[in-house]
């Protein structure tokens, strides 16, 4: 299995631009998570999908952030407009089931730099 | 109460030594405690996990010790190797919040050859 696939791996953009991060979860996994990692705040859960439906988006910082999961094999995280404080590594993770003891499998991340 | 406190922030160990990372929690509703390992440029990956009904779990050179009364758990890496150099995160979750993993702040481990 290829694991969780994220693209792009690196993104450099200017403040005010729209940024779209992409994720392909592991086939057969029905839970998907978006995390943000920074030195100051560590790993933060942004949003959780179950069976393509957003269940909890309380971690999304503000209205500039939006996430979609149009089907079981694809999800996007969009930031519009981007700001320098959005610079971070964004991880997508998928999980095979709904049990809290099921392992979350993380992708390699997208390193976002907003100038 | 939702926090997991992790220490130390960084750790340097000689090859062959024992690495010890500690975590503490407040919320007694937590009942699943995984450890994740993250190499530079990679996403975190599950290393080992424990439930509070056991006091210790060992997988190869990695051992979790769990002290339920003290609400503390720790990761021990025996015979530490340079290839173990990575950032380690403890985490906690609970059955009534099936999707939330509460992560510690991470420990950057460097094993010197």
Handedness of CA B49, B31, B20, A93 (dihedral sign): positive
Residue B99: which of A4, A55, A108 has the nearest Cβ? A55
Q: Buried b / exposed e across B59-96, counting CB within 10 Å, b at 16+?
A: eeebbbbbeeeebebbbbbeebeeebbbbbbbbbbbee
Percent of chain B with pLDDT over 70: 97
Contact predicate B78/B84, CB 8 Å: no
Give the model confidence (pLDDT) of B56-79 as tens digits: 999 999 999 999 999 999 999 999
Whether residue B7 is predicted with pLDDT greater than 90 in this model: the reply is yes
The average pLDDT across A87-104 equals: 92
Q: Contact A101/B32, CB-based, under 8 Å?
A: yes
Residue-level pLDDT at A1 = 64
pLDDT classification of B1: cutoffs 50, 70, 90:
low
Q: Buried b / exposed e across B4-23, counting CB within 10 Å, b at 16+?
A: bebeeeebebeeeeebbbbb
Give the model confidence (pLDDT) of A62-86 as tens digits: 899 999 999 999 999 999 999 999 9
Q: What is the mean pLDDT of chain B?
A: 94
Residue A45: which of B34, B43, B100 has the nearest Cβ? B100
Q: Contact B103/A43, CB-based, under 8 Å?
A: yes
Give the model confidence (pLDDT) of B89-106 as tens digits: 999 998 877 678 999 999
- Rounded CA-CA distance A81/A72 in Å is 27
Short-list B20, B36, B113, CA closest to B73: B20
How many Cα neighbours within 13 Å face the side chain of A38? Answer: 13
What residues of A are in the B interface, CB distance below 8 Å?
A: 4, 31, 33, 42-43, 45, 48, 50, 55-56, 91, 93, 98-101, 103-109
CA distance A101 to chain B (A): 7
Residue of A104, A105, A109, A111 to mutate, interface with B, max B Cβ within 10 Å = A104
Tell me the chain B residues in contact with residue A101 when contact means C-beta distances shorter than 8 Å: 32, 49, 51, 93
Q: What is the mean pLDDT of chain A?
A: 94
Give the model confidence (pLDDT) of A23-40 as tens digits: 999 999 999 999 999 988
Short-list A11, A66, A96, A15, CA closest to B99: A96
């Amino acid at each position: 299995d290829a694991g969780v696939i994220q693209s792009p791996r690196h993104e450099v953009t200017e403040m005010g631009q729209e940024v779209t991060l992409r994720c392909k979860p592991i086939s057969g996994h029905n839970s998907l998570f978006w995390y943000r990692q920074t030195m100051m705040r560590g790993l933060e859960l942004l949003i959780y999908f179950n069976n393509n439906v957003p269940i909890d988006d309380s971690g999304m910082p503000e209205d500039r952030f939006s996430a979609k999961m149009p089907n079981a094999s694809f999800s996007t995280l969009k930031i519009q407009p981007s700001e320098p404080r959005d610079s971070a590594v964004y991880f997508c993770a998928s999980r095979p089931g709904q049990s809290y003891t099921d392992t979350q499998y993380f992708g390699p991340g997208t390193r976002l730099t907003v100038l | 109460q939702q926090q997991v406190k992790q220490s130390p922030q960084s750790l340097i160990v000689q090859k062959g030594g024992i690495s010890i990372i500690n975590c503490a929690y407040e919320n007694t509703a937590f009942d699943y405690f995984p450890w994740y390992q993250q190499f530079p440029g990679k996403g975190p990956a599950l290393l080992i996990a424990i439930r509070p009904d056991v006091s210790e779990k060992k997988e190869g050179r990695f051992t979790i010790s769990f002290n339920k009364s003290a609400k503390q758990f720790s990761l021990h890496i025996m015979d530490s190797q340079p290839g173990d150099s990575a950032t380690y995160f403890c985490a906690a979750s609970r059955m009534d919040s099936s999707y939330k993993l509460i992560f510690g702040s991470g420990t950057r481990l460097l094993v010197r050859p």
